Amino acid sequence: MIQANDWTLRQETVLTPLKLPETEQEQSVELDYVLPDYCPDFFRLLNCTAETAVTAGTPADGAVPYTLHVTLRVLYCGAQTGAVQALTQTLDYQGRAELPAAAAGASALQIRMTAEPSYLNCRAVSQRRIDIRGAVKLRTVCIGEQPRTVLSGAEGLHVRTRAEPFSYVSQLLRTEKRFTLSDDIRLTDAQPALLSVLQTQSALTVTETRIVAGKLVVKGEAAVTLLYTVENGIETHTAALPFSQIVEQDGLADDMTCIVTARAAGLILTPESGNDGDIRLLHTDLDILLDCAAVRQTTADLLTDLYSTVHPAEPLAEQVTLLTMPAPVSERYRQKLTLTQQDAVITKVYAAWAEPESLRTAAEDGGTVISGTLHGYVLAADAESHPLMLEQRAPFSWTLPARIPAEGLPPVTVQSCSYTLTGSDSVTLQTELLLSGQVLQQTVCTLLTDAQIDPETRLPDGGQYALRLYFGQAGESLWEIAKRYRTAESAIREENDVPADVLTAPQMLLIPSVM
């Protein structure tokens, strides 16, 4: 509240989103690897990928420390066998990511760090040695809010105010929890035994969130898909692993609404052989990061305009972005991708999958746009049963409805990926991307953030009168008429029996004099 010169301004504090720039940096990746004795000699490279996971620490001195895990996976054909072989090696790196200077003023700051390969080159130095060189791009996105003061009322010095009710987020708490989901994946006796894992994918879904006794209960499911070799080929298997966690956060209350996003942060599979020597059991350790936000909504009357019937007034109106309650988002985007292997005859497809890369989100006219690259993979066999790996990248641009903000979106996931053999040497993928979860809504409105009234100066009288005549036009607001003639909107309404705020037809109005 501000009091000065016999008049009073009442204030309200609202939360507005803080626009923070993204930061990027690169980490070089190098590996000189000698094949273990149990691996066959290197004959032909099929594919080399880098699976990344980054763990952010506690920010300090304008930077956040992190640990980057890079799992290099090489698929190749051996010289003595036509079966696909898999090599896996994990490298760890530590570093610091600089934060934008404006992040220091953010409340409930959330830091999201992601990593993906910039490039990766793999070559065979000899039949027993491979050399990998590349780089991983780390991206840091900061999400936060800043308090903003707006006016909610004014009294004194013959002031007249126009207020409108607004619902907005008045309190926001953010926290994260990292945990390891340990479970077992079992193959049935009807399935062939596993020889080696070629590729893994993890898809996380939050199925329930609720606050109980000041603690957040989160339930969900992790779908882990394996691509693995068996004695006579290649198989896939998907296991659903449920999880349940309790998240503690100071200030959490049962009347708050929560948003929770789950992200995979690393997967370790440990195979276990049975008494017969076959592998049908894998111990799974999946690192999961829960990004949690709890919000409380307030409804209050906020000022959109004011004037004085006696003194000059200078209201300061500004556009203010208010955060509003979270709303569910479920948007889908489909894209076709054709992969071709020249001079080959494809006779069988073992597996097909796709991954979105280099994702960027931007607010543009008409809505929010997600752009990036879709990277498609097909593991197949030719007419001589030799394994083939097809790859293709294609850019995409996905325009979301205007109501969806560009900040704080849930991660984009691959909902489905199907394939069709469209030629002897080509496969077409039909990929569906999914954006699903809860997102804080935003509304831009014009509000008063300050006002000045000069008590030493009086406005010109304009002549002494009790009533004036004014011929109003359809669409004119009573507020603007009252402001022009320095009277009260309520007085015009009462004198002319006008129920609406805006004239619906031309009308003669009696304008009373009000001090």
DSSP calls for 331-354: EEEEEEEEEE-TT--EEEEEEEEE
Query: For residue 207, which of 243, 179, 180, 165 has the smallest C-alpha distance?
Result: 243
Give domain status of residue 310, yes or no: no
- Measured distance CA(361)–CA(405) in Å, rounded: 10
Same domain, 329 and 422: yes
Which three-class secondary structure state does DSSP give residue 482? helix
Burial class (CB in 10 A: 0-12, 13-18, 19+), 331: middle
Same domain, 202 and 247: yes
| pLDDT of res. 4 | 55
Measured from the Cβ of residue 272, the count of other Cβ atoms closer than 10 Å reads 11
Per-residue pLDDT tens digits of the chain, which is 515 residues long: 555 567 899 999 999 988 888 899 999 999 999 999 988 898 889 999 999 999 888 888 888 999 999 999 999 988 777 788 899 999 999 999 998 888 877 777 888 899 999 999 999 999 999 999 999 999 998 888 889 999 999 999 999 999 999 999 999 999 999 999 999 999 988 889 998 899 999 999 999 999 998 999 999 999 999 999 998 889 999 999 999 999 998 899 999 999 999 999 889 999 999 888 899 999 999 999 999 999 999 999 999 999 998 899 999 999 999 999 999 999 999 999 999 998 889 999 999 999 999 999 988 876 799 999 999 999 999 988 889 999 999 999 999 988 888 788 889 999 999 999 998 999 999 999 999 999 999 899 999 999 999 888 888 875 566 778 888 888 888 899 888 888 888 888 888 888 888 888 888 888 887 76
| pLDDT of res. 395 | 96
Q: Which residue has the tokens 């097809």?
A: 390
Same domain, 246 and 191: yes
Burial class (CB in 10 A: 0-12, 13-18, 19+), 401: exposed
Which three-class secondary structure state does DSSP give residue 14? strand
Say if CB 262 and CB 206 are below 8 A apart.
yes
Which of 123, 156, 189 terminates a domain? The answer is: 156
Tokens describing residue 449: 């953030």
Same domain, 387 and 269: no
Same domain, 93 and 215: no
Give domain status of residue 515, yes or no: yes
Half-sphere exposure of 496 (CA within 13 A, CB side): 26
Same domain, 5 and 150: yes
Amino acid at 451: A
Query: For residue 16, which of 407, 496, 353, 474 has the smallest C-alpha distance?
Result: 407
| pLDDT of res. 144 | 87
Find all residues with CB under 8 Å of 349, minimum gap 6, and list them: 378, 379, 380, 419, 421, 427
Q: Which domain holds residue 143?
A: 1-156
Domains in the chain, number: 4
Give domain status of residue 446, yes or no: no
Give domain status of residue 454, yes or no: no
Give domain status of residue 194, yes or no: yes
- Measured distance CA(294)–CA(145) in Å, rounded: 13
Half-sphere exposure of 292 (CA within 13 A, CB side): 29
Same domain, 195 and 83: no
DSSP conformation class of 99: P
Phi-psi region of 108 (alpha: psi -120 to 50; beta: other; left: phi over 0): left
Residue environment code for 438-461, b if the CB has 16+ CB neighbours within 10 A, otherwise e: bbbbbeeeebbeebebebeeeeee
Give domain status of residue 313, yes or no: no
| pLDDT of res. 379 | 93
Same domain, 171 and 289: yes
Which of 440, 469, 490 terminates a domain? The answer is: 440
| pLDDT of res. 464 | 60
Same domain, 148 and 274: no
Q: Quote the radius of gyration of the chain (alpha carbons, Å).
A: 32
Tokens describing residue 224: 């882990």
Same domain, 387 and 505: no
Same domain, 255 and 402: no
Tokens describing residue 237: 């298997």
Same domain, 286 and 141: no
Q: What is the CATH number of the domain that holds 480?
A: 3.10.350.10
DSSP conformation class of 493: H
Give domain status of residue 420, yes or no: yes
Say if CB 76 and CB 16 are below 8 A apart.
no
Say if CB 118 and CB 137 are below 8 A apart.
yes
Give domain status of residue 170, yes or no: yes
